[in-house]
Amino acid sequence: MTCQLYLLTPPRIEAGFAETLIAALDAGDVAALQIRLKDHTPDEIKQLAPPLIKAAQDRGVAVILNDDPELAVALGCDGVHVGQGDVPAKQARAAIGPKRMLGVTCHNSRHLAMQAGEAGADYVAFGAFYPTRTKTPPTQADPDILDWWSQLFEIPCVAIGGITVENAAPLIEAGADFLAVSSGVWSHVDGPAAAVIAFNALMRGE
């Protein structure tokens, strides 16, 4: 399986972000979009998310909501992503049903990843691999964990945390199925669309 791009929204978005998102999605191959509006209230997310969901789903991009299984279902998302401090994975799976995707943050822990797989996760996320501007990561992960996971398990693994076009290659080589990227796309010097094009080229080995 070729590594694919998993876009995360910025924690806070301004008016007009939907157009920026559309330009990024139209620039190349994006497998999934996580709506991760950490700096907005649930009521704001209910207002802001629908155009983002529509833009992604219209382009065949899976939409994952961060943290809130019930809201993910209510908004018509394709899945939910939960952290270790959120709803437990089994509870999240029960809330979203069998057909939606469940992703689980596993930090740098093999044990947490195996637990997530047993609880019904469709993917596990390891990180942070690099310093990140969007949050203060509780753990630092080594690319070896991607290699270990991909050799032993069928469930896809996602690399997250400070990933840019410049530092992504070791994670792809280690076996990441997806790269979860936020500021590495939105703050790219040549703009988000150029970032998507560059990530796609990297993933194709160009």
Q: What is the pLDDT of residue 138?
A: 79
The answer to whether 96 touches 80, Cβ cutoff 8 Å, is yes
The closest alpha carbon to 35, from 48, 16, 26, 20, belongs to: 48
What pLDDT band is residue 145 in, cutting at 50, 70 and 90? Answer: very high
- What's 139's DSSP letter? -
Alpha-carbon distance of 200 to 161, in angstroms, equals: 18
Is the model's pTM score more than 0.85? yes
Residue pair 180/163 in contact (Cβ under 8 Å)? The answer is yes
Give the chain's end-to-end CA distance (angstroms, integer). 16
pLDDT in tens, 6-52: 999 999 999 899 999 999 999 999 999 999 999 999 999 999 999 99
List domains and CATH numbers for the chain: 4-203 (3.20.20.70)
Q: pLDDT tens-digit profile of 165-197? A: 999 999 999 999 999 999 999 999 999 999 999
* CB burial string 46-59: b at 16+ within 10 A, e below: eebbeebbebbeee
